[in-house]
Copies of this chain bind each other. A is one copy, B any other.
C-alpha cells in the first residue's frame, strides 16, 4: 500500500486579465485515498473545493490579474492499486458494455480510431481477444515508437505518430488508445503523477476496459505502474490538460514531483502484470 507525496508548481506571467482552469489535483477514488492536500496561490487566492469533471477529474478555476501568478499543489496519497500476475480477462461484447463506457469507443481529436481501424485489425486482428491483446498493442507501440522530446507538439495525433514513429508519453498513449478503439476495445487517456519518472513531469498513460473494469497500461515503460497517482481520465489529452488558459498567460516554470514515502516495492516498468483500481 504505497504512500506517495505529489507536488506541482506552475508559475505564469499574466499579461492581461485571464481565466485559468487547472487539473492538477489527484482523484479520490476506490484505490486512491487522499491523506492530506493543499493549494497555495501567489498572489493569495482562496481556491474553492473545485468541481468534478465527467470522468472523476477535479478541476479548479480562477481569475488572475496582470503580473506573476503561481499555483502550488501538494498531496499525500495512499494507493491501493491491485497489481496482479498477467490476467485472462476478456474483451466485452458491445452489448454488454456499461453505457458510460461507450463514448470511449468513439474516435476523438487525437485518437482517430476511425482512421486506424484497418491498420489495427491487420496488425492485431489475429490475436486472441482480451488482456493479452491490449498488452500486445501496448508492446507494439513501445517497440515501434522512439521516445523523442520535441518531435511532436500539442496538435500531434495518433495517425501522425503512427507514421512518424516518434513522440512523448502523450503520443504513446494516444496511439495505443486509438488502436484499442479501432479493435472495438474501449480505451481512455489518463493523466498521472508518477514515482521514479525521469525527468519528473506529469505523465500520460492509458486504460482499457476489459472484463468489468479499467486496466492501466503504459506504453512508454518509463516508470512503475504501481506508482501512478491518478489526476484524471478523458477521451484524450484534450480532456485532461493540466491548465487551460483563456486570456494571456505564459508558463514561466513548471515543477512536478512524486516521491514514495515508504518502502513499498513497485514492480519494474514494462512488466506484464495487470494493474487495476479495485
- Residues of chain B within 8 A of A62, CB atoms compared: 95
Total interface residues on A, using CB and 8 Å? 45
When chains A and B are docked, how far (Å) is the Cα of A218 from the Cα of B30? 43
Q: A112-B109, A144-B122, A166-B118 are in contact. Are A94 and B244 (CB under 8 A)?
A: yes
- Residues of chain B within 8 A of A19, CB atoms compared: 93-95
When chains A and B are docked, how far (Å) is the Cα of A230 from the Cα of B152? 33
Residues facing B in A33-69 (CB within 8 A) are 51-54, 59, 61-63
When chains A and B are docked, how far (Å) is the Cα of A116 from the Cα of B166? 12
As for how many copies of this chain the complex holds, the number is 4
Q: A108-B109, A184-B246 are in contact. Are A163 and B159 (CB under 8 A)?
A: yes
Chain B nearest CB from A95 CB (Å) reads 5
Contact yes or no, B95 A63, CB < 8 A: yes
Interface of A is mostly: mixed
* Binary interface encoding of chain A residues 179-207 relative to chain B, with 1 for a CB under 8 A from any of its CBs, else 0: 00000100000000000000000000000
Question: Is A102 part of the contact surface with B, judged by Cβ < 8 Å?
Answer: yes
- Residues of chain B within 8 A of A235, CB atoms compared: 108, 235
Contact yes or no, B238 A163, CB < 8 A: no
Residue of B nearest to A162 (CB): B163
Which one of A105, A108, A122 has the greatest number of beta carbons of chain B within 10 Å?
A: A108
Residues facing B in A95-144 (CB within 8 A) are 95, 99-100, 102-103, 105-109, 112, 114-116, 118-119, 122, 144
A contact set with B: CB distance below 8 Å: 19, 21, 51-54, 59, 61-63, 93-95, 99-100, 102-103, 105-109, 112, 114-116, 118-119, 122, 144, 154-155, 159, 162-166, 184, 234-235, 238-239, 244, 246
